[in-house]
């Protein structure tokens, strides 16, 4: 996943965490992919996030179970949003830089055949260039459905510009 701050004006640089949180929630509610799979952000805090997806027939694989790609998308999104309010990343993100997933691993423990799954994500290590996160996905009964971890790096606007000219 690639994640950025909303950058419609200069106010983002000086915004409080609460203002940025509300802007991120508003953007997430309108993000087409999230709407496509029904992904809903429940909480975003520096270093943590909670998101969920409800089982639907159109999100299943041929056996009627939620497709693993939906679970992986929930983990990828949850871990990215856990990072977006971290002070260590604010300057890069406010300057138009972004976070990019460089590794995503998901371990599946039980199938999802109904109900809602919830992903709780957290930052485990904030390095200068490499950032580690982890997530736990549970069903409505509180049973673990999956665990995941992701590694991110930041990409500055200058690097993005140089890559687009290649």
CATH number for the domain that contains residue 103 = 3.10.129.10
What are the two backbone dihedrals, phi and then psi, of residue 19, each rounded to the nearest 5 degrees?
-65, -45
The 3-class secondary structure across 113-124, one letter per residue, is CCCEEEEEEEEE
| pLDDT at 156 (0 to 100) | 81
What is the per-residue burial (b if ≥16 Cβ within 10 Å, else e) of 12-37?
beebeeeebbebbeeebeeeeebeeb
Q: Residue 166 has what pLDDT? A: 56
User: Quick check: helix, strand or coil at residue 15?
Assistant: coil
Q: Alpha-carbon distance 77 to 109, whole Å?
A: 19
The total number of structural domains in the chain stands at 1
The pLDDT score that the predictor gives to residue 18 is: 87
Task: Note if the pTM is more than 0.75.
Answer: yes
Q: What pLDDT, on the 0 to 100 scale, is given for residue 93?
A: 85
Chain centroid to CA 7: how far?
18
Range of the domain at 50: 2-164
In whole angstroms, what is the distance from residue 47 CA to residue 79 CA? 9
Nearest to 124 by CA among 50, 51, 47: 47
- Which residues does the chain have with pLDDT short of 70? 1-15, 158-166
């Amino acid at each position: 996943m690639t994640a950025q701050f909303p950058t419609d004006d200069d106010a983002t640089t000086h915004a409080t965490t609460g203002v940025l949180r509300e802007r991120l929630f508003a953007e997430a509610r309108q993000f087409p992919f999230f709407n496509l799979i029904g992904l809903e952000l429940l909480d975003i805090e520096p270093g943590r996030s909670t998101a969920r997806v409800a089982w639907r027939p159109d999100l299943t694989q041929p056996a009627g179970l939620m497709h693993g790609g939906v679970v992986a998308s929930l983990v990828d999104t949850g871990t990215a949003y856990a990072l977006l309010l971290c002070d260590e990343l604010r300057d890069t993100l406010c300057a138009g830089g972004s976070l990019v997933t460089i590794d995503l691993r998901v371990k599946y423990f039980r199938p999802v055949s109904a109900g809602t799954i919830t992903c709780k994500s957290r930052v485990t290590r904030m390095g200068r260039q490499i950032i580690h996160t982890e997530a736990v996905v549970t069903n409505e009964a509180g049973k673990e459905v999956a665990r995941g971890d992701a590694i991110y790096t930041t990409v500055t606007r200058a690097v993005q510009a140089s890559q687009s000219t290649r």
